[in-house]
Chain A
Amino acid sequence: MIVLNSSDGATFEVEESVAVQSQTIKHMIEDNCADTSIPLPNVNGVTLARVLEYIKKHAEAKDDEEGLKSFDAEFVKVDQASLFEIILAANYLDIKGLLDLTCQTVADQIKDLTVEEVRAIFNIMNDFTPEEEAKLRNDHAWAFE
């Protein structure tokens, strides 16, 4: 069993065979940095719990394609803030399947949005001058239809 410490002090126990789905943890174990417990300063407790939920399910139900598909669909039904926390955690922990799943979810959520809506969601400032923006829109006019 491997012990993981989140940034806010929560501890989680998980089987090594399950934990190695995270390439980051896998390398830490191989490099012998995992004697007592593995500190994960970039992931908070709530998010780490969710990530563990994912890797546990994917370890135990490995061959059940249908079951995993419906699990994944339910798994990503969270608010966008939490989704991004999971993305960042999956990126840091290097769990490809989880990263692909969550990023695909975000992609599907934004693909039909307008530029203004995207800016609102991501809280992005428009740093183009009106002329620059007009030129870009003109260049790819068909993409705005």
Chain B
Amino acid sequence: MKPIKRKNTVPIPKDIFLEIFVKLPPKPLLRFKCVSKHWCSIIEDSELVDAFRNRPCNRGTNLLVRRKCTQEEETIEGRRKFNDFFLLDSEGKFAHLEVPIILQEKFFSNDDGEWQHVEGLVHRKNIIWNPTTRKVVHLPPRNPFWDVSKVIENMGIVAGCDNWSVSSKYFLGFDVSIKKHKVLCICRMDFRMNTISDDYIENSDIHKSQVSIEVLTLGANCWKKTTSDYPLPKELFEDFHVKTYCSINGVIYMIICPPCKRFQLPRRRSDQNDTILAYDITHEKFQLLPLPRGIGGMVHFVGDLRGRLTLMQQKHKQIWILEEDYGGPRWTVVDLLLPELWYTREISLREKIVKPIGLNPSGEIFFEVKEFSLNIKESSLSTIYVYNMESKDTRKVRFLTRMKNFFGSIFPNLVATIQPLK
């Protein structure tokens, strides 16, 4: 290839490189890091990372589909495969994504609600994955309570507490003010007393707990303990289970509920009361938000609709949208005109289940309609539909019709990003 003979030897300004690089697809862009140190620094620069992520063509309808592999025979390199990822792009192309081996661990095969996508990065438990660069980072386990003896001293633990445990919950968010991904870690140390009751059943009551909140800025490699200027809600100090969460406009919304105690019968449906714990990443502030009345205490799905928190429940043909204005937070409800066909049971089927599984901020809701045949041995068949809120139309999603034994999730509006993870 002939070198470009330029008339004057003015070096090409960085701005021009940014304009050219931002128009490249991710693969050559990452490859060209090797061209020279100068090119490498421009490509890794946050200015390009931000511009790349905000490309107009990026905010389209790239769907990331996760399918749980339920068959024993599905293997990859000899190991049992638990998760399959596909990318369905706006041009209708369907491609298999290479999944990092770590995400194929059985550990990651449960709890559909806990996979999240935030500005191009996918999060699950303590793993953050960038599908564009195919890189993965493990968040190290946190133990901010390293000096256990000091903790015991400060808390005045009662004799009899013979074991303690530390657990961390991670949440991925995006700080819109500094345009960086941040990870929130709610870490708790529980002191327990094991008792044997009259029925000889071992109970493990949490006697006292300590909670620590830390935030990691991705790429900065250091955890910052948040010192809150605002009082922390007391729910934060009780043990809670996180059903699902989502990150919208710099706020992490977590749907939490009290855990079922071990060996106790699960609570009745009507007793279950989910709450929303919201964390504002920029202002480092926690807030509790009430659920809308009418949702019946349980939330099945949360998502981002045009920048607003949106809740859905499986049985209802409605969505609840959170509006935050000067009067404070309030909920509005929108009825959905879903096809009647989804709710009429055919004679040949045992039952049909309609589940919301994805929400595109531009106003599209993805539903899975799962049909169970009368013959229990037969696989269930799922079809994914997309409902457009404006036109109130429903249509099938190509490639995602009549799938056998589909358990998974959809991330609409997957954004390509070359964000480095370390």
Contact residues of A with B, CB < 8 Å? 44, 80-81, 84-85, 87-88, 91, 99-100, 103-104, 106-107, 110-115, 117-128, 133, 136-137, 140, 142-144
Contact residues of B with A, CB < 8 Å? 1-7, 10, 12-13, 15-16, 19-21, 23-25, 27-28, 30-40, 98, 133-134
Q: Is the CB of B23 within 8 A of A133?
A: no
CA A118 to CA B6, docked complex, whole Å: 16
Q: Is the CB of B3 within 8 A of A88?
A: no
What is the chain A residue whose CB lies nearest that of B21? Answer: A107
Q: Is the CB of A142 within 8 A of B134?
A: yes
Q: Is the CB of B20 within 8 A of A103?
A: yes
A contact residues around B24 at 8 Å (CB): 107, 110-111
A contact residues around B2 at 8 Å (CB): 120-121
Q: Is the CB of A128 within 8 A of B36?
A: yes
CA A84 to CA B4, docked complex, whole Å: 9
Q: Is the CB of B25 within 8 A of A111?
A: yes
**Interchain residue pairs A-B with the least CB separation, the first 9:** A107-B23, A143-B31, A103-B19, A143-B30, A123-B3, A140-B30, A111-B28, A80-B4, A120-B1
CA A107 to CA B124, docked complex, whole Å: 35
A contact residues around B1 at 8 Å (CB): 113, 117, 120-121
Q: Is the CB of A115 within 8 A of B35?
A: yes
> Given A81-B7, A120-B1 in contact, is the A127-B36 Cβ separation under 8 Å?
yes
Q: Can you spell out 17 A-B residue pairs with CB atoms less than 8 angstroms apart?
A: A44-B7, A84-B4, A84-B12, A88-B10, A88-B13, A103-B16, A106-B20, A111-B24, A111-B28, A113-B28, A120-B2, A121-B1, A122-B3, A140-B30, A140-B33, A143-B30, A143-B31
Q: Is the CB of A81 within 8 A of B31?
A: no
Q: Is the CB of B3 within 8 A of A110?
A: no
CA A128 to CA B40, docked complex, whole Å: 10
Q: Is the CB of A91 within 8 A of B15?
A: yes
CB distance from A97 to the nearest CB of B (A): 12
Q: Is the CB of A91 within 8 A of B16?
A: yes
CA A44 to CA B30, docked complex, whole Å: 35
What is the chain A residue whose CB lies nearest that of B420? Answer: A139
CA A121 to CA B1, docked complex, whole Å: 6
Q: Is the CB of A88 within 8 A of B4?
A: no
Contact among A91, A107, A124 with B36 in the assembled complex (CB-CB below 8 Å): A124
Q: Is the CB of A85 within 8 A of B7?
A: yes
B contact residues around A143 at 8 Å (CB): 27-28, 30-31
A contact residues around B20 at 8 Å (CB): 103, 106-107, 110
Q: Is the CB of A126 within 8 A of B134?
A: no
CA A99 to CA B18, docked complex, whole Å: 12
Contact among A44, A121, A136 with B4 in the assembled complex (CB-CB below 8 Å): A121
Q: Is the CB of A124 within 8 A of B35?
A: yes
Most B-side CB within 10 Å, residue of A119, A121, A133: A119
CB distance from A42 to the nearest CB of B (A): 9
Q: Is the CB of A81 within 8 A of B5?
A: yes
B contact residues around A121 at 8 Å (CB): 1-4
Q: Is the CB of B31 within 8 A of A125?
A: no
B contact residues around A126 at 8 Å (CB): 35-36
Q: Is the CB of A128 within 8 A of B28?
A: no
Q: Is the CB of A137 within 8 A of B34?
A: yes
CB distance from A123 to the nearest CB of B (A): 4
Given A91-B19, A115-B35, A126-B35, 17 further pairs, Cβ under 8 A: A81-B4, A81-B5, A84-B12, A100-B19, A103-B19, A106-B20, A111-B24, A112-B28, A114-B31, A121-B4, A123-B4, A124-B36, A127-B37, A137-B34, A140-B33, A142-B27, A143-B30
B contact residues around A103 at 8 Å (CB): 16, 19-20, 23
Contact among A88, A117, A128, A137 with B37 in the assembled complex (CB-CB below 8 Å): A128
CB distance from B206 to the nearest CB of A (A): 44
CB distance from A8 to the nearest CB of B (A): 11
CB distance from A107 to the nearest CB of B (A): 4
CA A80 to CA B20, docked complex, whole Å: 14
What is the chain B residue whose CB lies nearest that of A92? Answer: B13
Contact among B3, B31, B35 with A140 in the assembled complex (CB-CB below 8 Å): B31
Q: Is the CB of A118 within 8 A of B23?
A: no
